[in-house]
Amino acid sequence: MNIFFELSLIIIAATVIAGVMRFFKQPLIISYIITGLIISVFYYFSPTATTTLSTFSQMGVAILLFIEGLHLSPSETKEYGISSMKIGAWQMLITVTLGYILSQILGYPLIPSLYIAVALAFSSTIVTVKLLSDKHDLEKLYGRISVGILLLQDIVAATALIIATSFSTGQVTPIALLIPLGKGLALTILIFFISKKVLPLLDGLLGKSQEFLFMFSLAWGFGIGSLFSYFGLSIEIGALLAGVALSLSPYSSEISAKLRPLRDFFLVMFFITIGMQLNPQALSHVMLPLVVFSLFTILIKPSIIMFLMGASGYKKKTSFFSAMSLAQISEFSLILGVLGFKFGHIDSTVMSLLTLLAVITTGISSYLIIYSPKLYPLLANLLFIFEKKVVDKESDILTRYDVILFGCNRVGYDFIEKFKHLGQSFLCIDYDPDVIKDLVASGINCKYGDVEDADFLDDLNIYESKMIVSTIPEFEANMFLLRMVKKNPEIIIITISYTIDDALRLYDAGADYVILPHFVGGRFVADMAEKADFDNKKFDEERSSHLDYLKQRKELGFVRLNDIS
């Protein structure tokens, strides 16, 4: 059979099934796995097509890890905060421990138990980021925390892949671990030396040709992956480190954007290959573990995250939304399982268990993410155990504030700079403990609290204020604040919105002014251009002032335009 025909058949089948899954608002990853399962049952592929599909899937994983590496720069990791990293570290440690104990109880041997436990600890970067992006929630506090946890998981996943490769001989000995780790360390040092000393010399050439930048990116990622493979290491690890080495390049974001369509195509082949490896007959052998581990992933792992976030000082709402975002296992779990199966560490039954677990948890968690705003009110009264109670040490005497700012990071920073001269009559409110610590260190009057807590707003005596400013990007939170504040129609209230429709609804609810950052920026520049009247000196003054402002914001960690709380 012609290989072109067979690959076309795969793509057509994947597209049809993906269309059905999109109708039910399911992640397309599930449709690709199901495609692989269906075509493996009803169609026999030639060895050439199978080999080609396997090569495509390996290329997809390599590109995925290369792009992930591009986002693991020190500045990117720092941006998401030490707090989320600590939560992620404890979550993985607790999850791996409980997962291992559970695997042992279910009768799995030592090595398969370790693979299962580590697989349970990871959550899907692809699924979580895609769904949060669709909801426009990446910029919200819980979105930033979720991404921070995922970044740490990606780093740990890289380490897990190295360890799995180290034991490819099946002999778990210190030497079996140290030799590949030594090779990997030496190659890593070489790669970063080249990226720091040699690649900057190519910046001019890369910037002049988009086509050459694209080809160079592929050559660098696949070349480093092949180099690692030549020395007996994982291609996947090589691709990941190749991305990390380029993460500080000024072209890292552009490289990532250019490679995403290619990544998406080849990843389709990877997940189809996973589906083809599913053994329907193994379902009866893994039914009990599948149910147990699915419940663990959907119920216990989120509970661990909520407990850790509550202990770190986050409100139960933020903890709930973050936990729902991470209630699945990862594509890295499947990659780790594929390597384990390849090296003979786990059998086809365990691999089928991991694959089915990915399908089930990804499907259920996608609904949890999409409908979490509707689920939270139903469960809010039961989530108090995940929230750390903060005792207010202040007296019962209510303090009057002229200006109260809700949301003190990114956009809120500009208001702080304008109003902080008011001293004690200006109050900042935020529900990110890290932001509160920074404000306290800066000597700014602030409180930790949730804008949607009516009792908290009453305690603030907001009705005696002259102005309320909210830079919180959540429409529902701003509507709640408006309903509370407009009990006193004399108060000036300014809110923020990122869509025209929401801005109009906020105006209808009584907002005195609604900031639309994208429009405000364009209007400001237009007014500036009109006032400058083609005077280069005036533009130079504005440019110098703006550069100083951007440098100051960057020093404070505000490096991404879409982080806006």
Q: What is the pLDDT of residues 338-358, one digit of tens each?
A: 888 888 888 888 888 998 898
Angle at CA 436, nearest 5°, toward 433 and 441? 130
pTM assigned to the model: 0.65
Together in a domain, 56 and 8:
yes
Number of independent structural domains in the chain? 2
Q: Could you tell me if 17 and 38 are in contact, meaning their C-beta atoms sit under 8 angstroms apart?
A: yes
Residues 6+ apart with CB under 8 A from 170: 343, 344, 345
Torsion sign over Cα 217, 223, 224, 229: positive
Query: If residue 540 lies in a helix (H) or strand (E), which one and from where to where?
Result: helix 536-555
CA 123 to centroid of chain Cα atoms:
9
Task: Give the number of other CB atoms < 10 A from CB of residue 403.
Answer: 19
Angle at CA 329, nearest 5°, toward 246 and 273? 75
Together in a domain, 407 and 378:
no
Partners of 468 in the beta sheet? 404, 493
Together in a domain, 74 and 209:
yes
Residues 6+ apart with CB under 8 A from 119: 99, 329, 330, 333, 336, 337, 354, 357
Together in a domain, 176 and 262:
yes
pLDDT lower than 70: segments of the chain: 1, 72-81, 138-139, 162, 165-177, 180, 207, 279-280, 282, 389-399, 409-412, 420-424, 455, 518-530, 532-534, 539, 546, 549-565
Judge whether 562 lies within some domain.
no
Per the structure, the complete domain to which residue 276 belongs is given by: 3-382
Together in a domain, 227 and 93:
yes
CATH number of the domain that residue 337 is part of? 1.20.1530.20
Angle at CA 529, nearest 5°, toward 525 and 531? 115
Together in a domain, 75 and 169:
yes
- Whole-number pLDDT of residue 77: 57
Please identify, among 382, 414, 434, the residue that sits at the C-terminal boundary of a domain: 382
Judge whether 462 lies within some domain.
yes
Together in a domain, 143 and 237:
yes
Together in a domain, 377 and 465:
no
Together in a domain, 344 and 466:
no
Together in a domain, 407 and 305:
no
pLDDT tens digits, one per residue of 193-212: 888 888 888 777 776 777 88
At 471 the three-state DSSP class reads: coil
Partners of 467 in the beta sheet? 403, 492
Together in a domain, 298 and 355:
yes
CA–CA separation, 399 and 404 (whole Å): 12
Backbone angles phi, psi at 403, to 5 degrees: -130, 130
Task: Give the single-character DSSP code of 380.
Answer: G
